Amino acid sequence: MSKRRVLTGIKPTGSPHLGNYVGAIKPAIAASRDANADSYFFLADYHALISCQDPIRVQRSTLEIAATWLALGLDPERVMFYRQSDIPEIPELTWLLTCITSKGQLNRAHAYKAAVDANTAEGVDIDAGISAGLYMYPVLMAADILMFNAHAVPVGRDQVQHIEIARDLGQRFNHVYGSDFFTLPEAQVDETTATLAGLDGRKMSKSYDNTIPLWDEPVTMRRLVMSIVTNSQAPGDAKNPDESHLFSIYQAFATAAETAAMRNAYQDGISWGEVKLALFERIDRELAPARERYRHFMTNPQQVETLLLRGAERARAQSRPLIVRLREAVGLRSVAATAVVATESTRTSDVLQPELKQYRERDGRYYFKLTEKSVGVLAQSIGFANGQDAGATIARIKLGEAAIANDELFLDEVMIARAPAGIASADVSAGLAALVAQEAEARAKKSAQA
């Protein structure tokens, strides 16, 4: 993976407001255009079920949020844009991670602790009203992140702990099962992200009921903007823009030149009514084109559905080979392959003796074969331009980095070898597992001798 992978989850629980747009959506879409990064955006509808059991609301909100991101410029051809519930490998990985997760770690998770503290303050049972979904939320979030081996996850400071948990679980799984299955993610916190004030001057939040919905009709948005609370300074009085939440909202939308002009207007005694009107006009000018696109997507939900399913299929081209590899690692494998598992009295090398043989063909390209003397050729590689690339691939296979799916071997989601006709996946799986085991045994002996 040559590019940095950045993953963003979007929970579909309600309509977005201006604060969401300025603080999260706008900067994330701008970052998605970075040619040096692979961006993943997903609708976290499994997460939505933790707090919403209204199926119509979940479905409607999923459409609204998807339409919002698409209308505001997210390019589904440039980024990976998918719905969480369309990736069945995510809940499977959630269970694999659950089995190595410490209950004590989940007891310390912020969301669960906050709910327990609230119950304690009210004098009720500490777990009253707390679902297992809320308790397990950090593990599902870890699966979202580790499934695609994200390097960075943009989050608010209140979510940093969840990224740390994902990192811990990835590291623990790697240690328990003896390979670098997962990239360890980092939280990406942007301290410069704007936080908009709401109608009452406090942070714009649904919990305060002080939001300005992103897709309100202009007449409604104008009325809400004109209702924003201000102080009693009269027209003609010089005003301090740095103490005005109206100015901070305006600055979040305006250019540098427009912001400078408004700052001068404050010093010249502009009235609050004029500021509010200028603010509404600036917001409307920025959102009007996107509003039309949003209406288009909302009235054409099948187009949104098609884009999400297409994104899910692209994402599963990566998640399927990884889950095959993880299932093999934890022992969820064909019983025909059990003979290759090393025990105290039996070593893999005593049962199967697979080899990887590299050679050069007349076409000038380099190949390798995975062979086993009792079976023959288990897998034949694609051609490599040079021997170094073929050798590096063989080395990674021996370290256990290859995944098997549909009678083919993959590295980093790229097919590197396929089984000849008549060779089943179970045979390839058994041979590959035996090869990895005997290589690990050889390394352990060498290390002990050193």
pLDDT tens readout for residues 189-243:
877 667 899 999 999 988 889 999 999 999 999 999 999 999 999 999 999 999 9
Percent of the chain with pLDDT over 70: 95
* More confident site: 405 or 278: 278
Task: Give residue 443's identity as a one-letter amino acid code.
Answer: R
* More confident site: 94 or 411: 94
Question: Is 215-297 CATH 1.10.240.10?
Answer: yes
Grade residue 1 by pLDDT with cuts at 50, 70 and 90: very low
- Residues of the chain within CATH 2.30.29 domain(s) are 333-449
H helix count then E strand count, the chain: 17, 11
**Is pLDDT at 83 greater than 60 in this prediction?**
yes
Q: d(Cα 237, Cα 269) in Å, to the nearest integer?
A: 5
- Residues of the chain within CATH 3.40.50.620 domain(s) are 4-193+308-315
Grade residue 349 by pLDDT with cuts at 50, 70 and 90: very low
User: Is 217 exposed, middle or buried, given 0-12, 13-18 or 19+ CB atoms closer than 10 A?
Assistant: exposed
| Strands 403-405 vs 376-381: parallel, antiparallel or unpaired | unpaired
> How high is the pLDDT of residue 343?
40
Q: d(Cα 21, Cα 353) in Å, to the nearest integer?
A: 59
User: Is 235 exposed, middle or buried, given 0-12, 13-18 or 19+ CB atoms closer than 10 A?
Assistant: exposed
Q: d(Cα 393, Cα 117) in Å, to the nearest integer?
A: 52
Q: How far is CA 366 from CA 64, 378, 383, 386, in A?
A: 51, 18, 5, 6
**Is pLDDT at 442 greater than 70 in this prediction?**
yes
**Is pLDDT at 109 greater than 50 in this prediction?**
yes
Question: Is 4-193+308-315 CATH 3.40.50.620?
Answer: yes
List the structure tokens of 356: 């990887």
Torsion on CA atoms 275, 276, 278, 279, rounded to nearest 10 = 110
Options 1.10.3470, 3.40.50, 2.115.10, 2.30.29; CATH for 333-449 is 2.30.29
Mean pLDDT over each residue of the chain, to the nearest integer: 90
> How high is the pLDDT of residue 337?
58
Task: Give residue 327's identity as a one-letter amino acid code.
Answer: R
Percent of the chain with pLDDT over 90: 72
